[in-house]
Chains A and B, each alone.
Chain A
Amino acid sequence: MSEVVSLAKAGNIARTQRQKDNWTPMVFDLHDTWFPIAHSTHVGAKPVRRALHAQPVYVWREGAKALAAECLPEALKSAATPKSAFTCGTGIYPTVEQYGYVWVWYGNPDNKDVTLLPHIPFLPKDGVGIPNYMRTSVRFDGNSSLSVENLLDLTHADFLHGEVIGGEGEAESDEISFEYTSETLTRVRHVVGKPVSPVMRWLGGVRAKYQEFRSTLHVHLRSNVCISYPRFRPGFDIPNMQTFVPSGPFRSRVDQTFSLGAAPTPFRQLMPRMAYVVGPQDNFVVRPQNPCYMNSDDRADQNSRFDAPGVRYRFLMRKLWERQQAGDYSYLADADPGQDISALLGMDK
């Protein structure tokens, strides 16, 4: 098969030695974690079909109790239905309901532990009182790791989401920092003197010309749960959670919940709808990007200094994956996914 001759191959420019690529997000399949499989309000008596990586998941309610299984309820009793080690051969996944989501344990059922559920300080634990307009569901047309990278990354906003979020770069200062454990990554962006975005001004009633903006994103590596806490001063907070549930290696599902009790009407009602504008914009690039990560490439991705949190994310994911490949599914001492993150999110600032 003949190939197109590049300048480098023809010897016209020096071939840059590129590192071998070891970022293969499609093969990552991290076990022993809770996945928020569905909004509680989406689960009723009739089963809904979901997936966790390659595992089928059906969720429904019996009375008030949410159940999740590998098959439809009527197939549960049949010996002919294959049942895996994810359910100890019973067909039923361990399930809890919290923060307005049904959470499913994915991994060895013997290791399930409710203290590993992420702490979400701005959502009611029992899920009661979240108005429906604060919930959205969107599809991401990339695997969950690429989708999380998209959320971690800040530089694409100007190009893809410019008209919604407003142009950046005019601020007095704009700083990005991050910290991490073996299970989580927390990225903070702190902007001083940012011109108030049109959405905030007209829908949120913020009359000031400039505002201070501090946005924290807390990512759980195994489950892709993203907890986001943007705070505007003057202005209000727009805390929200995004799920990025891996529906196989090609797609992920985002059930988002906002907590906009502090925001005025109509911002409160309209802000969550922005997900329907921003989602397709992200998919415009993530969708064609995804197949390019199908096979490991001999050319590693190139980075700029803005990619530091993303590069760290890749590194941590790789480490976790390698550890699980070697049979170690434990949580290391440095990580406590269930810890109180109010301070980490900057809620006290």
Chain B
Amino acid sequence: MWVPVAISDHVTADKPLGVSVGDQGLVLFRDKSSRICVLEDRCPHRRVPLSLGKIIDGNLRCAYHGWTFEGHGGQCVKIPNLAASERLSPKLRADAFIPYEKNGFVYLLTASSSTERDVSVKLTPPDLLIMNPDLAGAQQQSGRAVISCSVDTYLRALLDGPHLLLSLGGVCITDFFLGDVMRKTHELQLDRTAIWSHKAKPHERKWGVSTLVMRTEVYQDQSSARVQLLDVGERPLVNILLAVVAGKRNTVQINWRCSWLKNYAAIAPWFVRWRISGGHCPLQLNDKIDGSALADLLPGPSVHLLKNDSLKVDVHKKKEPKRVCSTPPTATEESRI
């Protein structure tokens, strides 16, 4: 399976980037021709994390004794103070990994067995984390956060209570679900009501006409998710891609990309427009989740997310009426709730 471990733009030729997949530490950087390199974040000399080092001429130099490694096979290419005539043994090398850059994310191949490895090594990452082509011309931003909960907890909260995980400028995210989870080809999809926040208070008591929908999609591989803000015509206003990968000590690493459209700015309240025009991203990813709020989050749509079983998604089969109506219903009116 391919896991999205970083945003392409975050991997540079200036400074190494340390990431992890579970407990495995990795260091990412770019060589002279801008190709991505991934090495184990552990110097084979004395085990110091290579992410503390420096990139010199497209190679990674360890911070402790200056052993320098090229990034594609991990071969040690320089040991300081050795005479020019001294040859470096090909055995001196750091472990190297296989990166794949796609749609603005960097993927790494993982496998739990040799068979899985042999099958998936020939494949490329799935086209899951992809910005809707309609969004061309939209503004974009990306970021990275490490959050103190597990991947499973995070994805469940994303379905049951995304307001604990993120906020969107001017938008009140409610837990009034619009139906149940739907199973699509690659994802679980759930819609919920969202309200412009200046019109939303106090929505728990007075439920008016809502004009926004928040759509959450959790992909089968359980390492990618998408959150969209849609207008009444179900046209996207904001599109958020979330790469969700397990980190050390059971944390979760989120690499996100957010794009927002002109439409969003056009219909958002004035204070949001003002902030956006100043270059602010409407998305705020919450990297300090409130533990008691998380604990108190009532189970909802997440019951359909099966743990450790990414390909089977347990959605109740929709029961349809036996008799087909003689007159088909007219186009749905704006949902009045």
Contacts and interface: CB of A to CB of B under 8 A. Distances in A.
Nearest to B86: A305
Given A2-B112, A158-B80, A304-B82, A9 B46 contact: no
A159 B63 contact: yes
A169 interface: yes
Interface stretch (A39-47, A287-295, A315-323): A287-295
Interface string A147-179: 001000101101110000000110000000000
A302 B24 contact: no
A37 to B, nearest CB: 28
Interface string B98-125: 1000000000111110001100010000
Contacts of A304: 45, 67, 79, 82, 92
Given A4-B110, A9-B117, A302-B92, A289 B64 contact: yes
A132 interface: no
B96 interface: yes
Interface stretch (A10-18, A106-114, A184-192): A10-18
Given A4-B21, A289-B46, A10 B109 contact: yes
A332 interface: no
B74 A155 contact: no
Contacts of B109: 4-5, 10
A305 B42 CA distance: 20
Interface residues of B, number: 42
Contact of A156 (B64, B90, B97): B64
A8 B95 contact: yes
Contacts of A302: 44-45, 76, 91-92
B97 A168 contact: no
Given A13-B96, A302-B91, A6 B64 contact: no
A64 interface: no
A158 B54 CA distance: 14
A7 interface: yes
A306 B112 CA distance: 39
B81 A289 contact: no
B73 A13 contact: yes
Contacts, number: 113
Nearest to A169: B81
Contacts of A133: none
A3 B110 contact: yes
A7 B96 contact: yes
B47 A301 contact: yes
A160 B44 contact: no
Nearest to A302: B44
Contacts of A292: 42, 47-48
B65 interface: yes
A285 interface: yes
A1 interface: yes
B95 A285 contact: no
Contact of B63 (A1, A6, A284, A301): A284
Nearest 8 interchain pairs by C-beta: A292-B47, A2-B112, A2-B110, A5-B109, A285-B64, A7-B96, A302-B44, A285-B48
20 contacts: A1-B22, A1-B112, A2-B112, A3-B112, A4-B108, A5-B110, A155-B80, A155-B81, A156-B65, A160-B63, A160-B64, A169-B81, A285-B52, A288-B48, A292-B42, A299-B44, A301-B46, A302-B76, A302-B92, A304-B92
Given A6-B40, A285-B64, A301-B44, 18 more contacts: A2-B110, A3-B24, A4-B21, A4-B26, A4-B110, A5-B111, A5-B121, A7-B74, A7-B98, A8-B95, A284-B52, A284-B63, A285-B48, A292-B48, A302-B44, A304-B79, A304-B92, A306-B65
